[in-house]
Amino acid sequence: MVQIKNWGLVRIDDRLIHGQVIAVWFRYKRFDRIVIVDDGIAADPFMVEVLRLAAPPGLEVEAHSLQESIGLLNEINDPQYLMILMKSPFTAKRLYEAGITYNALNIGGIGMGPGRKNVFKNSALSKEEYQVLKDLQQEGVKITFLSVPGEKSKEFEEIRI
């Protein structure tokens, strides 16, 4: 039995780092590092610079491809101040299947798009994305829709699509 690591936060937000949102999380929880798992961002050094520039002081921001992230996150032994951030439920599932397991998954925001239906506040899901989250839930992951602490939240099992 592989021990599930105690990540600071595993979060899906297609806006990635939104300074004000991160600032509110900071009032509730300490973070010193955000690892963005996204092939597109990882391949775009200018975008990484843009995200890093607007991050609060003392917070390290890095972006890695899915493959790189798996290797990197595997090596981390003390992850309580680390936030894993990605845009899509598919990435969350691929990480999980590759052995980067987690107990809880936070969904901060997924915008509307073709085939997606709004499920809670600023989050929308397609049928495929819903199914992927359902699979993770059946693995025992607690999935919560919450933009920032203090706001209204919703558990995955309460949503309908």
Residues within the interface to other proteins (CB under 8 A)? 14-20, 22, 46-47, 50-51, 54-55, 110-113, 118, 122, 124
Give the residue with the Cβ less far from other proteins, 17 or 159: 17
Give the residue with the Cβ less far from other proteins, 51 or 100: 51
Residues paired with residue 117 on neighbouring β-strands, in sequence order: 125
**Minimum distance of other proteins from residue 18's CB (angstroms):** 5
Q: Are 63 and 42 in contact (CB under 8 A)?
A: yes
**Minimum distance of other proteins from residue 2's CB (angstroms):** 34
Dist CA 40 CA 61 (whole Å): 15
Q: How far is CA 59 from the centre of its chain?
A: 16
Tokens in use for 135? 């699979």
**Minimum distance of other proteins from residue 103's CB (angstroms):** 28
Give the residue with the Cβ less far from other proteins, 21 or 66: 21
